[in-house]
Amino acid sequence: MSKKTYLQALNEALRQEMERDGKVFIIGEDVGQFGGCFGVTQGLYDTFGKERVMDTPITESAIVGTAAGAAASGLRPVAELMFVDFIGVAFDQLFNQAAKMRFMFGGKAKVPMTLRMPQGAGIGAAAQHSQSLEAWFMHIPGLKVVIPSTPYDAKGLLISAIRDDNPVVFLEHKLLYGMEGEVPDESYTIELGKADVKREGTDVTIVATSLMVHTALAAAEKLAAEGISAEVVDPRCLQPLDKETILASVKKTHALVIAHEAVGFAGPGAEIAAMVAEEGLEHLDAPIRRVAAPFCPVPFSPPLEQAYIPSADDIVAAVKAIR
Amino acid sequence: MSPDKKTLVKMYETMSRIRLFETKLQEFFAAGRIPGFVHLYIGEEAVATGACAGLTNADKITSTHRGHGHLIAKGGDLKLMMAEIFGRKDGYCKGKGGSMHIADFDLGILGANGIVGGGGPLALGSALASKYEKTDAVTICFFGDGASNQGTTQESLNMASAWKLPLVFVNENNGYGISCPQCKSMAVTDIADRAAAYDMPGVVVDGNDVLAVHEAVTEAVKRARRGEGPSLVECKTYRWRGHFEGDACTYRCDEELKEWMAKDPIPRLEEKLLEGGVLKKKDVEAIRARIEQEVKEAVAFAEGSPLPTPAELLEDVYA
């Protein structure tokens, strides 16, 4: 165990899986000697060579489709898109091809590919390089959707994603790459579809994902000072979604706030709220509240961008409205 | 080099198998016995047949929405195909895929595809896997004239060439993207010209001449196996039927259809085989009778197979 950044944890997961399994390879734009746009694949090219760390042309359909075709042919690719926003260019290869191959071929295909994509606002990258698009992927049967919030989770979940026999969309947050945390040096897995309670509490459940987990933890601190005990639940995977952990928490706290950076309308929180309303309404003694980005593209100018990203105060206000 | 006698007869049989299988589908569709819709390959049999005749089961293909011919040419089982098209439980995909989504990984059939241009990137992956695993398997990507305009196809041609992947792009140019004639959708006359942009060989062949297709694709496959990269083979052909069964074909004239029907690839090979003494008239009749029987058995198999039950709906979404 030692302190590592989220980025180092991801890099270590890739390295250890490539050492373990010769069928694992990396494919994407500038992932080779350049080390990836944000540096996640740094050093892997030097160790594993161009045969296993492949720089592609800037053609996202070819990247995602190559990963899908290679996965269906027995390899275990880890593809990287530089920004999640670029998935629009390649979406057919993900949602019509990779995600559906197994089902439409009657169970004959296995598509063990991982598609890593950074998302999120906060670095002034504006409307086409800052989105949080997890709801798109949650909506597609056949895909798994992983969205880690800590260095520890990032490593264990990426290793699990690579070993999974399904196409896994792995969503990293740009602002988390530099975050440090304790991460075991050895390889380990975290089961996909298991939530983690990041802070225990008794008065309200805050279900938060990715960067918002940390915003929610900051909000929980503030609430504690005011005598409100918040429990912070990080689903870690949105598909499959760990309903049990969320419902168990709501059963204990009787109130639910959901926080995510994706826009609120038809966002991931809508599904979580609907699930709790359908399966756990009797546990609630207050309306469900969502804290999310407003319904507009991600803006450029810093004050606008800060106004766009949900804050700890937004979460505190949402909690206080029902508690 | 002309193919040996065994290959010639096999190609004749394959084209006949595709024709008779699909003629039966045409009849069943008209009678309302097939759910959904079908895109028939009748008239284009020489392309799939010539392209696949020299492949082994280790070689791969990606197919299209008009895929029955490719599947049969790659060795697809008529019974399993017919049952799938009927939506039956014993079909290739347990009734989950239908006409446009048939695959047989053991035969190297990586799937038909409902998306025009969808197969190119998948073929890249398949060819990359062969290179990565250092096998000598080659992947053939079948795509139409319509798909040749898709970005996915252009991306695939580019990356296959840049990476020297063992891939052969076989273009089936039947002159129409649904109703839109080639002259309205592209400025080039020959799709093979686009190969030059990616520094790969591009050839045009008579897609109704199975021997010409076979020769050109065999050359391209050899090149790919040698590690010299991809090629583009454009096969000029024509679909006798509409884009889908039920298409009134108001966008083309009867004269055009008649001209192409006169270039029917099956009698063209048959005449050559009879003239060359490879087959006798009675052999031809025997082949036809045998394949008619195969199709009959496929129909009986499909009809005898149960429909899937709703309990199976959620199976195979995830591995």
The CATH number of A2-183, from 3.40.50.970, 3.90.170.10, 1.20.950.20, 3.90.1150.10, is 3.40.50.970
Amino acid at position B101, single letter: H
* pLDDT tens digits in sequence order for chain A, 323 residues long: 899 999 999 999 999 999 999 999 999 999 999 999 999 999 999 999 999 999 999 999 999 999 999 999 999 999 999 999 999 999 999 999 999 999 999 999 999 999 999 999 999 999 999 999 999 999 999 999 999 999 999 999 999 999 999 999 999 999 999 999 999 999 999 999 999 999 999 999 999 999 999 999 999 999 999 999 999 999 999 999 999 999 999 999 999 999 999 999 999 999 999 999 999 999 999 999 999 999 999 999 999 999 999 999 999 999 999 99
> Closest-CA residue in chain A for B141?
A69
| Mean pLDDT, residues B283-293 | 98
Q: Are A289 and A258 in contact (CB under 8 A)?
A: yes
CB contact under 8 Å between A66 and B93, yes or no, is no
Q: Say if residue A74 is exposed, middle or buried (CB neighbours under 10 Å; 0-12, 13-18, 19+).
A: middle
Query: In whole angstroms, what separates CA A68 from the centre of its chain?
Result: 20
User: Residue B174: which CATH number?
Assistant: 3.40.50.970
Number of domains, chain B: 1
Query: In whole angstroms, what separates CA A43 from the centre of its chain?
Result: 24
Per-residue pLDDT reduced to its tens digit, A192-225: 999 999 999 999 999 999 999 999 999 999 999 9
**What residues in B contact A74, CB-CB < 8 Å?**
129, 133
CB contact under 8 Å between A72 and B105, yes or no, is yes
pLDDT of B1 above 70: no
Distance CA A49, CA A39 (A): 16
**Residue A299 DSSP symbol:** P
Tell whether B123 is covered by a domain. Answer: yes
User: Beta strand pairing status for A2-5 and A180-183?
Assistant: antiparallel
- Site from A63, A97, A140 to mutate, B interface, most B CB atoms within 10 angstroms: A97
Question: Which member of B97, B111, B132 has the closest CB to residue A75?
Answer: B132
Q: Are B65 and B39 in contact (CB under 8 A)?
A: yes
Question: Which member of A66, A92, A103 has the closest CB to residue B128?
Answer: A66
Per-residue pLDDT reduced to its tens digit, B177-224: 999 999 999 999 999 999 999 999 999 999 999 999 999 999 999 999
Q: Would you state the CATH architecture of domain A196-322?
A: 3-Layer(aba) Sandwich (3.40)
Tell whether B314 is covered by a domain. Answer: no
Per-residue pLDDT reduced to its tens digit, A100-144: 999 999 999 999 999 999 999 999 999 999 999 999 999 999 999
Tell whether B117 is covered by a domain. Answer: yes
CA distances from B16 to B22, B264, B265, B276 (A): 10, 11, 10, 19
Per-residue pLDDT reduced to its tens digit, B8-62: 999 999 999 999 999 999 999 999 999 998 999 999 999 999 999 999 999 999 9
Residue numbers of the domain that contains B239: 5-302
Query: Within 10 Å of residue B24's Cβ, how many Cβ atoms?
Result: 17
Distance CA B133, CA A157 (A): 27
Tell whether B237 is covered by a domain. Answer: yes
Question: Which member of B93, B105, B158 has the closest CB to residue A104?
Answer: B93
Tell whether B309 is covered by a domain. Answer: no
Q: What is the pLDDT of residue A88?
A: 97
* Chain B residues with at least one Cβ partner in A under 8 Å: 60, 62, 91-97, 101-105, 110-111, 113-115, 118, 120-130, 132-133, 151-152, 155-156, 158-159, 162, 315-319
CB contact under 8 Å between B126 and A51, yes or no, is no
Tell whether B31 is covered by a domain. Answer: yes
A2-183 and A196-322 share one fold:
yes
Q: Are B97 and B123 in contact (CB under 8 A)?
A: no
pLDDT of B119 above 90: yes
CB contact under 8 Å between A57 and B159, yes or no, is yes
User: For chain A, which residues make up each domain, given as ranges?
Assistant: 2-183, 196-322
The torsion angles phi and psi of B90, rounded to 5 degrees, stand at: -90, 10
Tell whether B313 is covered by a domain. Answer: no
CB contact under 8 Å between A68 and B60, yes or no, is no
Beta strands in A107-221 (DSSP E): 114-119, 144-146, 168-173, 180-183, 196-199, 204-208
Tell whether B315 is covered by a domain. Answer: no
Q: Say if residue A81 is exposed, middle or buried (CB neighbours under 10 Å; 0-12, 13-18, 19+).
A: buried
**What residues in B contact A97, CB-CB < 8 Å?**
113, 115, 118, 121-122
Beta strands in chain A (DSSP E): 2-5, 24-28, 53-55, 76-80, 114-119, 144-146, 168-173, 180-183, 196-199, 204-208, 230-234, 237-239, 256-263, 289-293
CB contact under 8 Å between B129 and A75, yes or no, is yes
